[in-house]
């Protein structure tokens, strides 16, 4: 966003909501107080509609990034989240996993629902039932609590693989698994939406979807500038492809020995 904005003579300030609706409300008010020309917004979720409507009421153009708000006519730049989620889970299925747990973000976020839809799509296409007890929601922030993993891996029908929503979830959950004495991928395979830059993830073991985050910002900023300059009146929706990178966090499921009856 900054690269594109600076080329056109605009200055940028960044505010992180930490997935907190009240913070989002405060930052929207700050946009109004500073009389910004426009905003790129990664909405907290469906409840963000009220905050975004305030921008519209004050004639502040905005572009949604990564998450859409159902029924809200707005410019949008996002990834092919549902399709990418399906491909990540299909990778696990192709390795032979059938018990796959999913951890996504809160379901008031469209992107979390899309992740879950992709997970379901992959299982159903394979003819496997969707076990609701293997689906979890957790914050997609650095302070998430991964203690629910303990009971999950101690189940008699424990999963052999995990599909995770982002790298914060990946970091916390893998740390928890290792604390329980489990190895990745020998005991548990893991896939996730991952690092957004191949250089940043050069030493990562995570099989992950690499999203074109730079393009989210640059294209979003370009759409916003078109709105500010009055070049375009109708909303534009851009969906970007994510690349799945297979690394060493996935392997065929471990062989489980049957006990004598």
The mean pLDDT value for 190-194 works out to: 94
How much is the pLDDT for 91? 98
More confident residue, 45 or 201: 45
Question: Which pLDDT score, from 0 to 100, does residue 202 have?
Answer: 62
The answer to whether residue 164 sits within a structural domain is yes
pLDDT at 196 over 90: no
Do 137 and 163 lie in a common domain?
A: yes
Query: Are residues 127 and 40 located together in one domain of the fold?
Result: no
Distance CA 184, CA 71 (A): 41
Per-residue model confidence (pLDDT) at position 233? 85
| Strand, helix or coil for residue 253 | coil
What residue has token string 């549902």?
82
Model confidence at 195, pLDDT cuts 50, 70, 90, reads low
Per the domain annotation, does 252 fall within a domain?
A: no
| CB-based contacts of 67, cutoff 8 Å, min separation 6 | 42, 43, 45, 78, 109, 110, 111
Q: Is the same domain home to 50 and 126?
A: no
Mean pLDDT value of segment 187-216: 84
Mean pLDDT on 139-158: 95
Are 92 and 67 within one domain?
no
For residues 171-180, give the mean pLDDT. Answer: 96
| 260 within a domain of the structure (yes/no) | no
Assess if residue 250 is contained within a domain.
no
In a domain, 246, yes or no: no
Confidence of residue 255 (pLDDT cuts 50, 70, 90): confident
- Give me the percent of the chain exceeding a pLDDT of 90: 89
At which residue do the structure tokens 């499921």 appear?
A: 253
State residue 194's pLDDT score.
83
The CATH number linked to 180 is 3.40.50.2300
pLDDT (tens digit, 9 = 90+) per residue, 23-40?
999 999 999 999 999 999
Overall domain count for the chain: 2
Classified as helix, coil or strand, 34 is coil
Average pLDDT score, the chain? 94
**Both 126 and 236 in a single domain?**
no
Average pLDDT estimate for 249-254: 96
Reference 173, options 197, 196, 192, 154; nearest CA is 192
Region 168-173 average pLDDT: 95
Domain that holds residue 12: 2-79+212-240
Assess whether 53 and 17 both reside in one domain: yes
Summarize pLDDT for 67-111 with one digit per residue, the tens: 999 889 999 999 999 999 999 999 999 999 999 999 999 999 999
Q: How far is CA 112 from the centre of its chain?
A: 7
Same domain, residue pair 143 and 231: no
Same domain assignment for residues 198 and 123: yes
202 shares a domain with 216: no
Residues 236 and 151 both lie in one domain: no
User: pTM value?
Assistant: 0.93
Specify whether 204 is located in the same domain as 224.
no
Q: Is the pLDDT of residue 199 over 80?
A: no
In a domain, 64, yes or no: yes
H helix intervals, 133-257: 148-154, 167-179, 213-228
Residue 230 maps to a domain: yes
Question: Cα 8 to the chain's mean position, in Å?
Answer: 30
Q: Are 103 and 141 members of one domain?
A: yes
């Amino acid at each position: 966003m900054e690269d594109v904005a600076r080329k056109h003579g605009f200055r940028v300030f960044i505010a992180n909501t930490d997935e907190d609706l009240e913070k989002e409300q405060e930052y929207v008010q700050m946009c109004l107080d500073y009389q910004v020309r426009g905003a790129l917004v990664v909405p907290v979720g469906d409840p963000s509609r009220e905050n975004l409507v305030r921008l519209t009421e004050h004639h502040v153009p905005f572009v949604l990034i990564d998450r859409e708000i159902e029924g809200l006519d707005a410019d949008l730049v996002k990834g092919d989240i549902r399709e990418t989620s399906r491909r990540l889970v299909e990778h696990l299925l192709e390795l032979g996993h059938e018990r796959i747990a999913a951890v996504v973000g809160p379901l008031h976020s469209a992107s979390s629902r899309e992740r879950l839809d992709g997970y379901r799509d992959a299982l159903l296409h394979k003819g496997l039932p969707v076990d609701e007890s293997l689906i979890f929601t957790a914050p997609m922030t650095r302070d998430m609590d991964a203690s629910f993993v303990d009971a999950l891996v101690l189940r008699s029908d424990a999963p052999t693989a995990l599909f995770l929503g982002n790298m914060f979830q990946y970091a916390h959950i893998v740390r928890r698994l290792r604390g329980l004495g489990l190895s990745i991928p020998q005991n548990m395979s893991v896939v996730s939406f991952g690092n957004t830059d191949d250089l940043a993830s050069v030493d990562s073991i995570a099989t992950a979807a690499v999203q074109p985050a730079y393009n989210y910002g640059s294209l979003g900023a370009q759409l916003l500038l078109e709105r500010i300059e009055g070049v375009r009146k109708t909303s534009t929706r851009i969906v970007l492809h994510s690349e799945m990178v297979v690394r060493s966090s996935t392997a065929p499921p471990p062989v489980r020995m049957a006990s004598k009856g």
